[in-house]
Amino acid sequence: MAWKHRETPGEDIVCEAHDLLRIDDQYMVATPSGFTYWACDLATRVNTDMGVFRGSQSVYKVTAETDMIKGRGHLKELAMALESAMDECTFSGPVYDGTDDTFRLYAAVYATGDDVDWLKRTFAAAVAVQISEAMAMARRFQSEFRAIAATSGHPSAGLRAQPDAMLSHAECLFHPSGDGPSKWLDDPTWQRAGWVMEREARSFETDGQSRLNADYDWPCGEGLIRLEVCADEPHASLGNGLHATLTLPLQLSPQAIGHLVLDLNSYERNEYRRCHTLGSWCMHGGLLAYRTFLPNALHADGALEGLCVTFSTRAIWAAEYFQERMLEAQAAPQGQP
């Protein structure tokens, strides 16, 4: 277990997740880059890469992924259900792996020595909530669609008799902190977040206390990409904290957005974009959006600016991504997709 030595920011985050969540090693398989854990009968994989040297520093991508449900002829229904559920997402988004017909929840962070402190606790929380949400969604989809859970067991310990109590009710970890006012209200880092937007956005505004709005160019038609960060919108189950929503001005049907949710989450999973994948693409207010929520318990110096930087990065690549698709469609011979 090389990550136990915490020699890199990536290993530090993996080890912190293992220790803070009190992982039961009886149901864990360790590798040099991370571990696979069975908190229930769904496997969770946590890993760090070897790092990429960019911009005078090494950047480490740390990922968490939990098996959830098999497709088994329900791809369309499950895509629509996930699109709706992700509007109240926290840290993870759904991805579909066609090689084994499995839906999973996925989250990732890009860590350097500068931001590892706030990312350690945030990533550990993301793993805990991811496992809890995967369990709940698997039960829901089994009931609604008679779908098959992506069940597996530890290679030697087998299936657990009972789920890990701590991780099966992860939302409880964030109360009573979430019951109080948002810890980001009147936080002095709103000013620093505004400085980030001066460099990144086309235009922005902030009240310096609870809210920041920013606009980015949209090359595919009318409108602008809109980022809204606010401390006055509580989460349905985690209480108060910090919400961030990036909305694209695309007029699409719910069915089209459902497919894009999976496509864009998978794109971020497979491409090195250096923006934290904490949250999910979803349908919000009838439009395609990316949403993230940080609960009060994860309030930390650097989190607000880090969130603004990562959403700015996502706004820029999303504009490029859809512009490329638009140009490809225009160049395609008539009658071909």
Structure tokens at 215: 């606009």
Pair 202, 215: CB distance under 8 Å: yes
pLDDT tens digits along 9-31: 999 999 999 999 999 999 999 99
**Higher-pLDDT residue of 2, 106:** 106
Write down the H helix ranges in 163-302: 165-168, 189-200, 254-270
Structure confidence by residue, pLDDT tens digits, 268-307: 999 998 899 999 999 898 899 999 999 999 999 999 999 9
For residue 337, pLDDT over 60 is answered with no
Confidence band for 80, pLDDT divided at 50, 70 and 90: confident
Q: Is the pLDDT of residue 1 over 80?
A: no
334: pLDDT confidence band, cut at 50, 70 and 90? low
Instruction: Please tell me the predicted confidence (pLDDT) of residue 30.
Output: 96
Q: What burial letters (b/e) apply to 102-118, b meaning 16+ CB within 10 Å?
A: bbbbbbbbbbbeebbbb
CA-CA distance, 19 to 305, in Å (whole number)?
27
Which pLDDT score, from 0 to 100, does residue 17 have? 96
All structural domains of the chain, each given as residue ranges with its CATH number in brackets, are 1-154 (3.30.1460.10), 174-331 (3.30.1460.10)
Extract the runs of DSSP E, i.e. beta strands, from 5-83.
28-31, 34-38, 43-48, 52-54, 57-70
Predicted confidence at residue 335, as pLDDT, reads 57
CB atoms within 10 A of CB 162: 7
Statement: residue 336 has pLDDT above 80: no
In angstroms, the CA 267 to CA 253 distance is 21
5: pLDDT strictly greater than 90 = yes
Over residues 63-69, the mean pLDDT reads 97
**Using one digit for the tens of pLDDT, what is the confidence trace for 104-141?**
999 999 999 989 999 999 999 999 999 999 999 999 88
pLDDT exceeds 70 at position 235: yes
**pLDDT tens column, 190-218:** 998 988 888 889 999 999 999 999 999 99
Cα–Cα distance, 237 to 242 (Å, whole number): 13
Give me the pLDDT at residue 185, please: 96
